[in-house]
Amino acid sequence: MSHILRRCFQAFSTALTWLVVFAACCGVTRAESLQFNRDIRPILAEHCFACHGPDSAARKGDLRLDRREDAVQSGVFSLDHLADSELLQRIESTGDEVMPPRESQKPLSAEQKQLLRRWLEAGAPYEAHWSFLPPRQPELPTVQKNQLPAGPIDRFVLAQLEQRKRSPAPAADRHTLIRRLTLDLTGLPPTPEEVERFLADTSPNAYERVVDRLLESPQYGEHMARHWLDAARYADTNGYQYDLERDQWVWRDWVIHAFNSNMPYDQFTVEQLAGDLLPDATPLQRLATGFHRNHPITIEGGVIDEEYRTEYVVDRVVTTSTVWLGLTMTCGRCHDHKYDPISQREFYRFFAFFNNIDEKGHNGFNPKLKVESPLRQHELAAAEEALAECRRRLEQVIESERKTTGSPTPGLPLAQFAQWEQAAKDDLQRDWQLPEPKRLGSRGGAELTRQPDGSVLATGPNPATDTYEVILPLEGLKQLSAVRLEALVDSSTVNGAPGRGTNGNFVLSEFELAAGATEQGDFQPLELARAEADYSQRDFGVELAIDGKIDRKGWAIDGNTRVKSCTAVFHLKAPLSIAAAAGDSAGETADKSAAPPARFLRVKMSHNYGLQHQIARFRLSLYGGAEAPTAALASVLQSPAEQRSEEDTRQLEQWLLTRYGSPQVRAAAAALQAAQQRLQQTGQAVPDTMVMRERSTPRTTHVLRRGEYDKPGEEVQAGTPEALPPMPADATANRLGLARWLVMSDHPLTARVAVNRLWQQLFGVGLVKTANDFGTQGEWPSHPELLDWLAVDFVESGWNVKAMLKQIVMSATYRQSSVADPELLAADPENRLLARGPRRRLDAEVIRDSALLASGLLSDRIGGPSVFPYHPAGLWQEINNRPGYSRTYQQDHGEALHRRSLYTFWKRTVPPPSLAAFDAPEREFCIVQRSRTNTPLQALVLLHDPQYVEAARHLAARVLRADLASDVERIRFAFGLSLARPPSEREAAMVLELLQERRRQYAGSPDSAQRVLAVGERPSAPLPPAEHAAWTAVARVLLNLSEFITQS
């Protein structure tokens, strides 16, 4: 039999962490009965299953120890003589036959050997793995002492403490409690006003009122969504080498809305995994399926489509199993799982649920859906209502004027549309001017030459990216209100298309205008209000050419498949008055005290997509009238009346009314037109979001040998692991069936995994420490009966997330002080006994948001596109300097600098550095448990990052602007803003000393004070510089305290 055991227990992984927790929390004494799942399985899983577990390919000596019947059949121990079995002899041997073998350098401890002996002496009983058994709600334990209120959670905790002769910590003070609670439920600290209200409320339910208020605040949904985004591997770029931008933020808004509306977790699950398959699925239910489109997507040339499509499906398998099952199924891709009962065949049966998505591996961005964010639908509804009201008003004015004038034509004021139409054509011909360029230039070296028809043709060198610059005279115009750009077909390009790209297309990344007094002089930028085009390629609308970002997005026209000329019109926010040159009667005399007169226009056309996607032939015209028609409307005006649609005619009549109607009609029509533009802009802001959609023809799924996409083996059908309950007999074997299986009331894992992560959010670590692994390699729960009680309660509550969170934070266990006496700290350093309250370093986003809130800078706007706050210059280019590929970080300005960190643009290859320093993940794959490190870099970020220096400056300004009589009062106020508590006398004295020292320093060095106060874009109220700089120094210290970045 020795050959069977000679190589037993090879592939060891360290058991040290487990043993510490085992000894502290789950240590088994002689008086206690053994539990296989708690005491024995972890030893076998750590030391045996790699060679003698579920993986048949890796199994040594035909010995399998994870199932009792196989172990008995192998003869490794005899049921009649278990205590004398060879297994025990090998474990306790001191010779060469010892198991595990000496070369593993990981011998069993004396305690582990003793546990195995006791187990064998007891008959070697096995149990199914604890997490694969449906949870059953146990009876609440009886406790001897009333040291904690007798809530369900507290009784489970106190029972274990009493068993180990420990006592719970006292309740936390009220300052600590409201700060802990507010941070945990909203990700923000409480304001001084909120603290004072809580301290003043002496009623028995004061704390509960705070809990309810926080759960109903919109910031709750933002905070909960941030945790979910880690699990969903949400990012704003595609990953891989090029890591280009994507628009998936509408799905992120759906998550915020789902949490704020307290969507039941079972519904939350079903809609994200299979919302598109629900009967009569709504747009928002289809939007929810963006969860499984958040994975990285490649656009690299030369990749094999099926290889990467397979990677996307594998990602969905791994993510689903991690998020809902708490299992590590990754091993099953290439072989049977070494530790858990998941075979390779079962992996690919699970794979089959996600193998029927209508997608590609290369450029796999479809299917997509255009749907308004649920957080912004009220804006759309308001815009639609305003439009309807303006339309009603115009009809009333027209009808009133018809009656006044006696016009026989209902609905028309004077029945003069035919005359107005001709007048409009004449006016447009006069108002649109085609000036001859004074100068043409290309940064990339292209040759720009003017053609007889007034257009400009680009020939010669054609770099990957290019910027054209055209200087136009403004002679003959009194004002400038719009610029027309025509992209024209030309025989010199691919297929005669308007673009120079190898496929005939172009991408105009940015269209910029500036006015100057001379050809060579200083040009002042002109602000553009909007842009319209008669045609735009999907996802490349013309509005992207005026978004202020010179990136790969912009206006494109499907030049590779649609070979037609296209027109865009760019409207100035306000008409530019043109100064008269000498002898120019068209212009107006400029006010000499005003800005330099405008006599020349600079047009800059940036093409930053790459791949030579520049415009080949274009023509620029200037509009000198009051309001230029849109490109589409101009096209309608030139078309024969009989070819116009009913909508075209209505739009044209409305525009004619704004130009030629009576003053009352013009005003009403202009209001309607403005309302239409507002509605259009609201709709244009909605990008296409990636979602799930099934193929009409299902794919066949095979086991992939060694996990390689091009090595199909046995054909398999969709199904779930056999170690878990089967799907109902009437369930459909698709994603909807899978989602409904996950939320069955008796599913052993889903509720446990969800409740454990909620506990982890509040305590820093779950009842099961390994939140991502409830398998045999995972940790035994610190309080298994409590976990099951909560899981059953969660399901019975209707999967109510807010109710579960409220139950936890209302417990006395949560409300304990986090201060531990030295003896308890030594015995239970990780607080697995829950004998004290939670204490942990805050997550990266919470730290930044807390600084912004304390300073008064934090924007309370919810939802919308991601933003670009402060960022180290040139960092993106360091990572990827290929032209046209997201090289340059375009920092935002104004409110966008101070949005919650949830909305910060997340580039997978370069996550926000100040957040990454505090362990924010890259989001290239699913994360359900962040790491926490302590490094000197974190202190440097808090001291020197512009966001924190600016926050300190504004925190100082808040303190100085407050109506306070003394420095000590100001110090108390600063502590309240940053730490939600008053300082001790010693702390106040230390800060006062620092303040006085900095006052002297900055009074003697005004330049130093100005340098400190110059950091950050948001100006603060005028204050004495030395005083403001001194208080800024105090604020920087407060924001760098360990207490500020810690929940305690």
DSSP letter for each residue of 342-392: --HHHHHHHHHTTTTBS--SBT---SEEE---TTTHHHHHHHHHHHHHHHH
- CA geometry: angle 506, 507, 512, nearest 5 deg: 125
Q: Are 546 and 459 in contact (CB under 8 A)?
A: no
Mapped onto helix, strand or coil, the DSSP state of residue 463 is coil
Q: Are 163 and 27 in contact (CB under 8 A)?
A: no
DSSP H or E stretch at residue 517: none
**Three-state DSSP string of 722-786:** CCCCCCCCCCCCCHHHHHHHHCCCCCCCHHHHHHHHHHHHHHCCCCCCCCCCCCCCCCCCCCHHH
Return d(Cα 259, Cα 221) in angstroms, integer. Answer: 5
Of the pLDDT bands very low, low, confident and very high (cuts 50, 70, 90), residue 584 is very low
Return d(Cα 622, Cα 600) in angstroms, integer. Answer: 12
Q: Cβ contacts of residue 668 below 8 Å, gap of 6+?
A: 390, 393, 394, 397, 398, 657
The b/e string for 373-392 (b: 16+ C-beta within 10 A; e otherwise) is bbbbeebbeebeebbeebbe
Query: Does position 913 have pLDDT exceeding 50, yes or no?
Result: yes
Q: Cβ contacts of residue 870 below 8 Å, gap of 6+?
A: 891, 897, 914, 945, 946, 947, 1016
All domains of the chain, ordered by start, with CATH? 2-127 (no CATH), 247-373+686-744 (no CATH), 433-628 (2.60.120), 944-1047 (no CATH)
Q: Are 167 and 817 in contact (CB under 8 A)?
A: no
Q: Are 364 and 296 in contact (CB under 8 A)?
A: no
The token pair at 389 is 């009201």
- CA geometry: angle 455, 460, 462, nearest 5 deg: 95
Mapped onto helix, strand or coil, the DSSP state of residue 632 is helix
Of the pLDDT bands very low, low, confident and very high (cuts 50, 70, 90), residue 28 is very low
The b/e string for 2-38 (b: 16+ C-beta within 10 A; e otherwise) is eebbebbbbbbeebeebbebbebbbebeeeeeebbbb
DSSP H or E stretch at residue 524: strand 524-526
Name the residue among 310, 99, 344, 328 with its Cα closest to residue 926: 328
Is 431 or 493 the better-scoring residue by pLDDT?
A: 493
| Sign of the torsion angle spanned by Cα atoms 105, 111, 114, 116 | negative
The whole-number pLDDT of residue 662 equals: 66
Return d(Cα 51, Cα 61) in angstroms, integer. Answer: 9
The type of residue at 824 is L
For the entire predicted model, the pTM comes to: 0.79
Return d(Cα 723, Cα 129) in angstroms, integer. Answer: 9
Q: Are 809 and 1047 in contact (CB under 8 A)?
A: no
Of the pLDDT bands very low, low, confident and very high (cuts 50, 70, 90), residue 1010 is very high
The token pair at 890 is 């375009």
Query: Does position 496 have pLDDT exceeding 90, yes or no?
Result: no
Of the pLDDT bands very low, low, confident and very high (cuts 50, 70, 90), residue 24 is very low
Eight-class DSSP state of 36? I
Name the residue among 636, 1040, 611 with its Cα closest to residue 851: 1040
Name the residue among 278, 277, 276, 317 with its Cα closest to residue 295: 317
Query: Does position 392 have pLDDT exceeding 60, yes or no?
Result: yes
Of the pLDDT bands very low, low, confident and very high (cuts 50, 70, 90), residue 595 is very low
Return d(Cα 255, Cα 222) in angstroms, integer. Answer: 8
Cis peptide before 911 (omega within 30 of 0): no
Is 302 or 21 the better-scoring residue by pLDDT?
A: 302
The b/e string for 93-127 (b: 16+ C-beta within 10 A; e otherwise) is eeeeebbbbeeeebbbeeebeebbeebbeeebebe
Over residues 949-1005, the pLDDT tens digits come to 999 999 999 999 999 999 999 999 999 999 999 999 999 999 999 999 999 999 999
> Mean per-residue pLDDT for 194-202?
97
Q: Average model confidence (pLDDT) for the chain? A: 85
Q: Are 835 and 814 in contact (CB under 8 A)?
A: no
Return d(Cα 765, Cα 834) in angstroms, integer. Answer: 11
Of the pLDDT bands very low, low, confident and very high (cuts 50, 70, 90), residue 329 is very high
- Tokens 């809305």, located at residue: 257
Query: Does position 634 have pLDDT exceeding 80, yes or no?
Result: no
Return d(Cα 891, Cα 896) in angstroms, integer. Answer: 9
Q: Cβ contacts of residue 205 below 8 Å, gap of 6+?
A: none
- Cα diameter, the chain: 118
Name the residue among 258, 292, 257 with its Cα closest to residue 272: 292
The type of residue at 275 is G
DSSP 913-926: HHHHTTT----SS-
> Mean per-residue pLDDT for 893-901?
94
- Helices and strands counted in the chain (H then E): 36, 18
Of the pLDDT bands very low, low, confident and very high (cuts 50, 70, 90), residue 237 is very high
Over residues 130-150, the pLDDT tens digits come to 999 999 999 999 888 666 666
Return d(Cα 92, Cα 1036) in angstroms, integer. Answer: 60
The whole-number pLDDT of residue 680 equals: 67
The whole-number pLDDT of residue 835 equals: 94
The whole-number pLDDT of residue 222 equals: 98
Mapped onto helix, strand or coil, the DSSP state of residue 449 is strand
Alpha helices in 841-966 (DSSP H): 844-855, 875-879, 913-916, 936-944, 946-961
- Tokens 């209001």, located at residue: 671
Q: Are 339 and 45 in contact (CB under 8 A)?
A: yes
- Tokens 């064998």, located at residue: 120
The token pair at 39 is 């005491």
The whole-number pLDDT of residue 747 equals: 97
Of the pLDDT bands very low, low, confident and very high (cuts 50, 70, 90), residue 184 is very high
Query: Does position 642 have pLDDT exceeding 70, yes or no?
Result: no
The whole-number pLDDT of residue 693 equals: 96
Query: Does position 803 have pLDDT exceeding 90, yes or no?
Result: yes
The type of residue at 796 is E
The type of residue at 158 is L
Over residues 542-551, the pLDDT tens digits come to 888 988 877 7
> Mean per-residue pLDDT for 171-195?
97
DSSP 120-158: HHTT------GGGSPP--PPPPP-SS-SS---HHHHHHH
Return d(Cα 357, Cα 351) in angstroms, integer. Answer: 11
Name the residue among 799, 822, 457 with its Cα closest to residue 617: 457
Q: Are 32 and 122 in contact (CB under 8 A)?
A: no
β-strand partners of 701: 716
> Mean per-residue pLDDT for 722-735?
94
Over residues 657-667, the pLDDT tens digits come to 655 556 776 67
Query: Does position 21 have pLDDT exceeding 60, yes or no?
Result: no
Return d(Cα 288, Cα 91) in angstroms, integer. Answer: 53
